[in-house]
């Protein structure tokens, strides 16, 4: 008996062969995602790249936890502690090595991509789902390679969406609520936004219910399980530092003082716009507009094309409703305090919706659909190759440091090797405007606030603590940068003057590094 072929097949390719080819493509994609992330996080010999990003702050927090110190009480942080525990567990499992953060980054990016692929397959054809996932890996996650807490909270929220797609029973609501509680343990505001989004989506579902009590039961299951899981995860922190301290640093402090002028896209570009923008700055403007505008556009397109016309199944409607509400509220939560990593991390739900709508609108125009797919794949592949070549061309200096090998830029290599000769693992050391030196060198920070900023987030008491800690512990070496390089808002250009004045009085400038850092040595 001959194998049946599809009616529109010109070449007589059997359905069985086509299905086998699709399975092999899926397997290839499952290996290609971690493979691509690996070659951007490591050299071909497995040496981790030094990627200066926000996750370095949480790596240092986890190292300080290993010293027995407590978040909020013994060292500064205004984010939820979930990511600190992730790195602490990773170091506990594998030891304190330079490659551990890169491994966490790899696992996180792969997990997010797999969940994104699953959700894409729920809303769009296979070829569009694969493309959307590839776009996410190259342009969104791969652009920053920053294993920050925003990604972990988003992963928990996406998993909650996966749980609720097949059904909305009380048990599934409990599990989804627990995942929202986990999201709040990583990013407090994301957990709140996700709970509100899920509540709205459950009310949106137009299915017959025995009574309003059933709806309230699902809503209560979602809320109570989320709160319970958050309390269980936060119990240790609450017991050791107190609920007032947790409330102050997670709620009061960020609202009152935290404004990232140095990485806020609008404020940063506002200093030069519209006089003259470089190509990179124009690229940043374009990405900002895409990130901010895609969310409402995606929701509108999907609503007008599918949801309003009821042209998709109930599961697809719920998946779209959960992604739409989550995308809108997560983006609304960060847009007023925008940083690049926050915008990128909250963009994925909107990105999935946008390409689901595009795939639906192009389904009756196969020629145009193939052209768009080809163009987007071309851009994705070229950008992926370009990004990989850039990362490997940048990290060409391989250094052996106390906690392992690391790939650096030649400018950073000079600094790391010099400091490795001057310090020993366990020494007290202070890097005022960064945290990337602590793990590779195995040195410890003596101050309460590790990353000082020329802004209102550096409170006077934090500055006084830094000076006191340097004085009382006789810290031998300090790394500074010129004031002009750490001043992003001229109205706050004198916040760190007391620290600079004290260091210039008690330390002497020992060396200028080619990357801009300055080494100051304690005067005899």
3-state secondary structure 443-508: CECCCCCCCCCCCCCCCHHHHHHHHHHHHHCCCCEEEECCHHHHCCCHHHCCCCHHHHHHHHHHEE
DSSP state of 406: E
The pLDDT of residue 484 is: 77
Q: What is the pLDDT of residues 297-329, one digit of tens each?
A: 777 766 665 555 555 666 777 888 888 889 888
Which alpha helices (H) appear in 405-445, and where do they start and end? 410-422, 438-441
The pLDDT of residue 333 is: 80
Rounded to the nearest 10 degrees, how much is the dihedral formed by the CA atoms of 435, 437, 439, 442? -130
Residue 217, SS3 per DSSP: helix
Which distant-in-sequence residues (6+ apart) come within 8 Å of 492 by Cβ? Answer: 261, 454, 455, 456
Half-sphere exposure of 227 (CA within 13 A, CB side): 6
The pLDDT of residue 247 is: 96
Structural contact between residues 310 and 365, judged by C-beta atoms closer than 8 angstroms: no
Whole-angstrom distance, CA of residue 362 vs CA of residue 357: 9
Cis previous bond, 463, omega within 30: no
In the block, tokens 């003082």 appear at 257
Nearest to 343 by CA among 255, 264, 434: 264
Buried b (16+ CB within 10 A) or exposed e, 409-437: beebbbbbeebbebbeeeebbbbbbbbbb
Which distant-in-sequence residues (6+ apart) come within 8 Å of 45 by Cβ? Answer: none
Rounded to the nearest 10 degrees, how much is the dihedral formed by the CA atoms of 500, 502, 508, 514? -20
Domain limits, the chain: 31-391, 409-522
Phi and psi (nearest 5°) for 430? -135, 120
The pLDDT of residue 295 is: 72
The pLDDT of residue 392 is: 95
DSSP state of 141: I
- Other Cβ atoms within 10 Å of 381 Cβ, number: 12
Which distant-in-sequence residues (6+ apart) come within 8 Å of 439 by Cβ? Answer: 56, 59, 60, 63, 96, 98, 101, 403
Structural contact between residues 168 and 318, judged by C-beta atoms closer than 8 angstroms: yes
Residue 508, SS3 per DSSP: strand
Q: What angle do CA 54, 269, 259 make, to 5 degrees?
A: 45
Whole-angstrom distance, CA of residue 317 vs CA of residue 204: 10
Partners of 519 in beta bridges: 479, 511
Structural contact between residues 170 and 218, judged by C-beta atoms closer than 8 angstroms: yes
Structural contact between residues 41 and 48, judged by C-beta atoms closer than 8 angstroms: yes
The pLDDT of residue 256 is: 84
Which sign, positive or negative, has the C-alpha torsion 10, 14, 19, 24? negative
Residue 378: exposure state from Cβ atoms within 10 A (0-12, 13-18, ≥19): exposed
Phi and psi (nearest 5°) for 400? -95, 115
The pLDDT of residue 372 is: 96
The pLDDT of residue 8 is: 42
Nearest to 421 by CA among 402, 395, 439: 402
Ranges of the chain whose pLDDT falls below 50: 1-13, 261-262, 272
Whole-angstrom distance, CA of residue 54 vs CA of residue 148: 6
* Token pair for 71: 């978040």
């Amino acid at each position: 008996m001959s194998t049946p072929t599809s009616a529109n097949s010109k070449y007589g390719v059997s359905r069985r062969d086509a299905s086998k080819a699709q399975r092999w493509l899926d397997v290839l994609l499952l290996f290609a995602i971690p493979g691509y992330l690996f070659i951007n996080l490591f050299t071909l010999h497995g040496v981790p790249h030094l990627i200066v990003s926000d996750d370095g702050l949480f790596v240092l927090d986890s190292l300080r936890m290993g010293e027995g110190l407590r978040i909020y009480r013994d060292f500064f942080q205004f984010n939820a502690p979930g990511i600190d525990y992730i790195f602490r567990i990773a170091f506990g499992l594998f030891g304190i090595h330079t490659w551990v953060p890169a491994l966490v980054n790899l696992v996180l990016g792969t997990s997010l991509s797999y969940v994104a692929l699953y959700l894409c397959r729920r809303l769009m054809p296979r070829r569009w789902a694969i493309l959307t996932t590839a776009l996410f890996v190259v342009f969104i996650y791969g652009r920053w390679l920053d294993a920050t807490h925003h990604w972990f909270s988003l992963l928990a929220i996406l998993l909650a969406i996966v749980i609720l797609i097949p059904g909305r029973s009380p048990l599934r609501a409990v599990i989804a609520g627990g995942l929202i509680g986990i999201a709040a343990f990583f990013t407090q505001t994301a957990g709140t936004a996700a709970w509100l989004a899920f509540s709205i989506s459950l009310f949106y579902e137009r299915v017959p219910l025995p009574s309003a009590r059933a709806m309230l039961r699902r809503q209560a299951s979602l809320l109570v399980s989320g709160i319970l899981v958050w309390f269980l995860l936060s119990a240790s922190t609450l017991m050791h530092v107190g609920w007032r301290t947790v409330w102050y640093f997670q709620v009061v402090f960020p609202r009152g003082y935290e404004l990232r002028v140095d990485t806020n896209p609008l404020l940063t570009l506002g200093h030069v716009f519209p006089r003259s923008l470089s190509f990179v700055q124009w690229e940043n403007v374009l990405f900002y507009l895409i990130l901010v505008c895609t969310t409402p556009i995606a929701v509108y397109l999907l609503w007008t094309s599918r949801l309003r016309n009821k042209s998709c199944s109930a599961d697809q409607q719920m998946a779209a409703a959960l992604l739409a509400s989550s995308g809108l509220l997560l983006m609304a939560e960060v847009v007023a305090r925008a940083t690049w990593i926050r915008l990128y991390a909250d963009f994925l739900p909107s990105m999935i919706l946008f390409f689901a709508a595009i795939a639906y609108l192009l389904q009756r125009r196969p020629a145009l659909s193939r052209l768009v797919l080809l163009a987007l794949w071309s851009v994705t592949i070229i950008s992926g190759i370009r990004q990989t070549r850039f990362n490997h061309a940048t990290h060409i200096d391989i250094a052996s440091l106390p906690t392992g090998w690391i790939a650096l830029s030649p400018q950073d290599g000079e600094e790391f090797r010099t400091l490795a000769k001057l310090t020993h693992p366990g020494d007290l050391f202070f890097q005022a405007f960064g945290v990337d030196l602590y793990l590779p060198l195995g040195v410890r920070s003596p101050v309460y606030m590790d990353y000082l900023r020329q802004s209102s987030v550096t409170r006077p008491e934090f500055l006084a603590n830094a000076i006191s800690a340097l004085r009382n512990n006789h810290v031998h070496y300090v790394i500074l940068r010129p004031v002009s390089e750490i001043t992003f808002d001229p109205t706050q250009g004198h916040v760190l003057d007391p620290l600079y004045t004290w260091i210039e009085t008690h330390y002497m400038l020992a060396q200028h590094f080619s990357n801009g850092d300055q080494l100051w040595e304690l005067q005899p």
